[in-house]
């Protein structure tokens, strides 16, 4: 029975990867830079994305977001406070988003020109690792409340990320968070990875993060 399960999973992942490549090419041809945000639940992902969307709109950029959750549209409601167009995907128990889900919502969404499309994945450090969503950038998030060893415990996830945001840095001292150790662990898993220290509460790191994101978009789009 085990080999059959493996074969089915391999076939599903192959179909997903094929669709994701087509989606990525389509997004890039339209000048849309897509990022896929992954983290554990409670990392501050939604708050930081709300801050990012709001500041980008202030800068005159066109942005939209797709949010994945098992149930409810609470995160989509929060993100709409930024002024961005937002779609919610409810997975009804599935612990990750898949390319087909994103495509289905995107294809029936009438938007004007978009510079950035943000995909907030389901909160999980395991399931989203293998699923390409057609993104050009994978953003990992690690809060100070989770501890410095998460990259070593979940190397598969952090090894697939292009950049990591250390969140809730305003709580670092109270949590006795060892910043140096966390960065070392990240660099051990993914040498050379970009790391930003951020706080959704104080907005620390917001502008440098957006500057970097915009620079990355321009490089990818040529």
Instruction: Read off the pLDDT of residues 126-181 as tens digits, 9 standing for 90 and up.
Output: 999 999 999 999 999 999 999 999 999 999 999 999 999 999 999 999 999 999 99
Grade residue 7 by pLDDT with cuts at 50, 70 and 90: low
Instruction: Answer for the pair 186, 193: CB distance below 8 angstroms, yes or no.
Output: yes
Q: How many CB atoms lie within 10 A of CB 124?
A: 19
Per-residue pLDDT for 27 more than 70? yes
- Domain 2-221 fold: Rossmann fold (3.40.50)
Whole-number pLDDT of residue 12:
77
End-to-end CA distance of the chain: 48
Residue spans of the domains in the chain: they are 2-221
The helix or strand, by DSSP H or E, that contains position 102, with its residue range, turns out to be helix 99-107
Q: Answer yes or no: are the C-beta atoms of 96 and 123 closer than 8 Å.
A: no
State the pLDDT at residue 5: 54
Q: Which two tokens stand for residue 221?
A: 């789009």
Cβ pair 196, 163 in contact under 8 A: yes
DSSP 8-state secondary structure symbol assigned to residue 114: -
- Taking only the tens place, the pLDDT of each residue in 148-163 is 999 999 999 999 999 9
Reported as a pLDDT band with limits 50, 70 and 90, residue 9 is low
Per-residue confidence band for 213, with pLDDT thresholds at 50, 70 and 90: very high
Q: Are 140 and 105 in contact (CB under 8 A)?
A: no
How far is residue 171 CA from its own chain's centroid?
22
- Percent of the residues in the chain that have a pLDDT greater than 90, as a whole number: 91
Q: Which two tokens stand for residue 32?
A: 């849309």
């Amino acid at each position: 029975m085990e080999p059959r399960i493996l074969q089915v999973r391999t076939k599903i992942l192959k179909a997903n990867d094929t669709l994701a490549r087509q989606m990525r090419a389509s997004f890039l041809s339209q000048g849309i830079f897509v990022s896929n945000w992954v983290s554990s639940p409670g990392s501050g992902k939604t708050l930081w994305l709300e801050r990012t969307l709001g500041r980008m709109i202030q800068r005159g950029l066109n942005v939209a977001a797709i949010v994945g959750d098992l149930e409810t549209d609470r995160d989509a409601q929060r993100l709409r406070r930024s002024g961005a167009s937002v779609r919610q995907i409810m997975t009804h128990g599935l612990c990750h988003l898949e390319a087909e889900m994103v495509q289905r919502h995107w294809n029936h969404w009438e938007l004007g020109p978009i510079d950035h499309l943000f995909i907030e994945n389901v909160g999980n450090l395991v399931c989203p690792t293998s699923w390409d969503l057609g993104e050009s950038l994978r953003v990992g998030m690690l809060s100070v409340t989770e501890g410095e060893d998460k990259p070593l415990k979940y190397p598969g996830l952090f090894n697939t990320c292009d950049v990591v945001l250390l969140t809730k840095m305003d709580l670092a001292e109270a949590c006795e968070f060892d910043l140096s150790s966390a960065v070392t662990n990240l660099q051990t898993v993914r040498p050379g990875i970009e790391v930003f220290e951020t706080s959704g509460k104080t907005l620390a790191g917001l502008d440098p993060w957006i500057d970097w994101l915009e620079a990355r978009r321009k490089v990818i789009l040529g």
